[in-house]
């Protein structure tokens, strides 16, 4: 009896000792964690806007440029068609403007925080920590309303990708795949606000587990034929593209994707 009691006490004390040794904060002063609460992490791209190291930026810009060129050449209409009526050749001014625009996209410093209007459905589902600051700041909300009024396309994806950790090239690779699969319905009017947002849930191999159109009630509303056509074409593109070539790692980062299909720039030609 006494023997077994001794055994029990010994083993228990060994266990307690092991626990004390393996759980550091029970023995030593814990490392002072609170100051690095990951608030920093959340806001790193938006708030601090830390620029790339000069060299890294150059490389990325070069890559981007190449990518842009490649995409453009892929999509140029057949030579016979693109024949040059005087008015289709962009004026030198316009060309310059285009270049500027690209630069803007590439420069993370110039990306401004913004919020989008989201559907009821989205509000329930998406918690975008990037937008908390914007939600508090009413000035930004006004800005977003203005944006909506002018129907300008927002380039929010770049900003998001920094925060969520998908690299530019990874994101561009995904984008380029969808570009190739999407047959844009060319009959759509260019002066209407047609933006189709599709939310995807991906499997690890890049196949699509679930795809849904946010705002999909709009498809069946009367007078929204063009929206319906665009939404269907976008869904087709996504389905045709699967399995998407996804990054080999970081499944958690890209398992949920939102694709915003906006053909306005293309249709304006």
Partner 1 sequence: MKKLIYILFINILILSKSHALIEIDITRGNLDPLPIAVSPLHVDIKSEEHNDIKIKNLGEDISKIIEQNFKNTGLFNPLKRDAFVQKPDIAHLKPRFEDWRLIKAQALVTGKLLIKDGKLKVEFRLWDLAAAKEMTALAFTTTPSNWRRVAHIISDKIYERLTGEEGYFDTRIIYVSETGPKNQRIKKLAIMDQDGFNTKYLTLGNELVLTPRFNPTNQMVTYMSYFRNMPRVYLLDIETGTQEVVGNFPGMTFAPRFSPDGKKIIMSFAKDGNSDIYTMDLETRVVERITEHSSIDTSPSFSPDGKFIAFNSDRSGLQQIYVMRSDGSNVKRVTFGKGIYGTPVWSPRGDLIAFTKMHKGRFYIGVMRTDGSGERLLTENYYQEAPSWSPNGRVLVFYRETKAGDRGEGFSAKLWSIDITGYNERKLSTKTDASDPSWSSLLSK
Pick one of 160, 168, 203, 216: the residue that binds partner 1 (CB under 8 A): 160
Residues 23-82 that bind partner 1 (CB under 8 A): 25, 30, 33-34, 37-38, 41-42, 71, 75, 77, 81
Distance, in Å, from the CA atom of 111 to the CA atom of 155, rounded to the nearest integer, reads 9
Considering beta carbons, is residue 134 or 182 the nearer one to partner 1? 182
Q: What is the 3-state secondary structure (H, E, C) of 100-165?
A: HHHHHHHCHHHCCCCCCCCCHHHHHHCCCHHHHHHHHCHHHHHHHHHHHHHCCCCCHHHHHHHHHC
181 near partner 1 (CB under 8 A): yes
Instruction: Write the CB contacts of 62 (distance below 8 Å, at least 6 apart in sequence).
Output: none
CB count in 10 Å sphere of residue 158: 17
* Residue 61, token pair as written in the block: 């810009």
In whole angstroms, how close is the CB of 81 to partner 1 at the nearest point?
5
In whole angstroms, how close is the CB of 249 to partner 1 at the nearest point?
13
Pick one of 115, 166, 213, 246: the residue that binds partner 1 (CB under 8 A): 166
Distance, in Å, from the CA atom of 250 to the CA atom of 126, rounded to the nearest integer, reads 19
Considering beta carbons, is residue 60 or 71 the nearer one to partner 1? 71
Question: What string marks each residue from 112 to 141 as x (binds partner 1 by CB under 8 A) or -?
Answer: --------------xxxxx-----------
Distance, in Å, from the CA atom of 134 to the CA atom of 47, rounded to the nearest integer, reads 11
Considering beta carbons, is residue 12 or 112 the nearer one to partner 1? 112
Distance, in Å, from the CA atom of 20 to the CA atom of 28, rounded to the nearest integer, reads 10
**Applying CB under 8 A, what is the total number of residues that bind partner 1?**
75
In whole angstroms, how close is the CB of 223 to partner 1 at the nearest point?
11
Residues 220-249 that bind partner 1 (CB under 8 A): 225-226, 228-230, 232, 234-237, 239-240
Pick one of 45, 115, 213, 254: the residue that binds partner 1 (CB under 8 A): 254
Distance, in Å, from the CA atom of 170 to the CA atom of 160, rounded to the nearest integer, reads 13
Using an 8 Å Cβ cutoff, are 188 and 222 in contact?
Answer: no
In whole angstroms, how close is the CB of 225 to partner 1 at the nearest point?
4
In whole angstroms, how close is the CB of 213 to partner 1 at the nearest point?
12
């Amino acid at each position: 009896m006494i023997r077994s009691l001794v055994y029990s006490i010994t083993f228990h004390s060994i266990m307690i000792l092991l626990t004390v040794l393996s759980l550091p904060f029970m023995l030593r002063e814990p490392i002072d964690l609170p100051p690095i609460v990951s608030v920093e992490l959340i806001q790193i791209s938006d708030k601090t806007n830390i620029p790339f190291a000069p060299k890294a930026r150059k490389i990325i810009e070069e890559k981007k440029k190449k990518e842009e060129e490649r995409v453009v050449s892929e999509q140029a209409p057949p030579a016979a068609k693109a024949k040059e009526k005087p008015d289709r050749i962009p004026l030198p001014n316009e060309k310059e403007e285009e270049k500027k625009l690209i630069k803007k996209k590439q420069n993370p410093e110039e990306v401004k925080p913004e919020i989008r209007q989201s559907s009821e459905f989205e509000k329930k589902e998406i918690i975008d920590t990037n937008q908390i600051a914007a939600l508090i700041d009413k000035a930004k909300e006004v800005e977003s309303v203005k944006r909506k009024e002018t129907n300008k396309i927002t380039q929010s994806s770049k900003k998001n990708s920094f925060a969520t950790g998908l690299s530019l090239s990874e994101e561009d690779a995904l984008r380029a795949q969808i570009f190739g699969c999407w047959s844009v319905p060319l009959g759509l009017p260019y002066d209407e606000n047609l933006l189709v947002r599709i939310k995807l849930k991906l499997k690890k191999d890049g196949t699509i587990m679930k795809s849904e159109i946010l705002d999909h009630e709009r498809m069946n509303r009367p007078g929204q034929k063009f929206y319906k056509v665009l939404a269907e074409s976008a869904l087709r593109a996504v389905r045709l593209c699967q399995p998407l070539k996804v990054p080999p790692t970081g499944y958690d980062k890209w398992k949920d994707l939102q694709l915003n299909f906006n053909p306005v720039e293309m249709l304006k030609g």
